[in-house]
Copies of this chain bind each other. A is one copy, B any other.
Amino acid sequence: LNDFNYDDVYQLDVDLINSNLNQLLNKHENQENVVSQAMRYCILNGGKRLRPVLALEFCKACGKKPEHALPFACALELIHSTSLIQDDLPAMDNAPMRRGQPACHVKFGESVTILASDALSIMAFEVIISDDSLNKFTALKAAKTLVNAIGVDGLVGGQTLDINNENNPIDINALKKIYYMKTGILFHAVAEMGCIAAGASQKKIIAAKNYAEKIGLAFQIVDDILDVTATSKEIGKMPMGDVKRKKTTFPSLIGLDQSRQLVTQLTNEAIDSLETFNQNKIEFLVEFAKRLEARQH
């Protein structure tokens, strides 16, 4: 009898992550300083926690308790939040809503938002390097993975290319590259850091990164699809944002049907790449990929 319940496991992970994020915010709570209020607003706003959950679950798939990966998971969520906050700024996507609430700059102003995003990304490093339960070798290895994923050759570079993508048609390879740098590389880091926390073999790390790369791209293509097909209530922001900004997307390049087929193909490839893990421990990761494929928001 299989007593695995995906939603229960997901919720346990989220509770662990939220409780840890809350503790981190409490550590820097300062009623005088509006930036600490903005940080809390941006972090504890009901995010889905996909990335940190994935880090915990890769740690579990490697046979360790999820708590081992908790500092890394939180660091990754802090970085993800930073990128969302900045994406919404008037100078970037100029998006007034995020997750059904006013965007940070609408609520706190632009200058506080920029400083809050700085503080959150600094906190991401703090979590990794200040956790005394981590050995120094593991901490430095994870910090290097993070740096490589989020700098000018990763997330930040991808966001820059993405801005240039507006009003400037590109081909499918250029779009894949942007999506890899903007999204895939952080999923990569998530998978890798989850495995690092568990002290996993290089073989497992490579398999995990392969899975992460596939679902990262699938995730981004689903975002493109939802931008065209979903309502603002479903996605918590105004739809058709990409169309309005004349962005190249998968639907604009290959149509909705082929985009959906590609998502299915990538999802199956992601699941196949998990074969190097103990098959009793990958139920969650298989279901995670399928849920991302089917998501409506």
Contacts and interface: CB of A to CB of B under 8 A. Distances in A.
Contacts of A82: 118
Interface in A10-38: 28, 30, 32-36
Given A110-B91, A115-B160, A152-B28, A126 B140 contact: no
- Do most interface residues of chain A lie in helix, strand or loop, or is the interface mixed? helix
Interface residues of A, number: 47
Interface in A150-209: 150-153, 156-157, 159-161, 163-164
A74 interface: no
Interface string A103-136: 0000001111011011101110110011000001
Contact of A137 (B118, B121, B136): B136
A129 B147 contact: yes
A144 interface: yes
Contact of A35 (B89, B125, B137, B152): B152
A217 interface: no
Nearest to A92: B111
* Identical chains bound together, number: 2
B119 A163 contact: no
Given A34-B164, A91-B111, A143 B125 contact: yes
Interface string A31-70: 0111110010000000000000000000000000000000
A287 to B, nearest CB: 33
Specify which of A91, A151, A152 lies most central, judged by the most chain B CB atoms within 10 Å of its CB.
A152
A295 to B, nearest CB: 28
Nearest to A34: B160
B156 A35 contact: yes
A89 B86 CA distance: 14
Given A39-B152, A123-B151, A159 B34 contact: no
- 10 tightest CB-CB pairs across the interface, nearest first? A91-B110, A119-B152, A35-B160, A122-B151, A91-B111, A136-B136, A126-B147, A119-B156, A129-B143, A28-B152
15 contacts: A33-B152, A33-B157, A35-B156, A82-B118, A89-B111, A91-B110, A91-B111, A92-B111, A119-B151, A121-B122, A122-B152, A125-B143, A125-B147, A129-B140, A129-B143
Interface of A: 28, 30, 32-36, 39, 82, 86, 89, 91-92, 109-112, 114-115, 117-119, 121-123, 125-126, 129-130, 136-137, 139-140, 143-144, 147, 150-153, 156-157, 159-161, 163-164
Given A91-B109, A125-B147, A126-B144, 12 more contacts: A28-B152, A32-B161, A33-B157, A34-B164, A35-B156, A86-B118, A91-B110, A91-B111, A91-B114, A115-B159, A115-B160, A117-B118
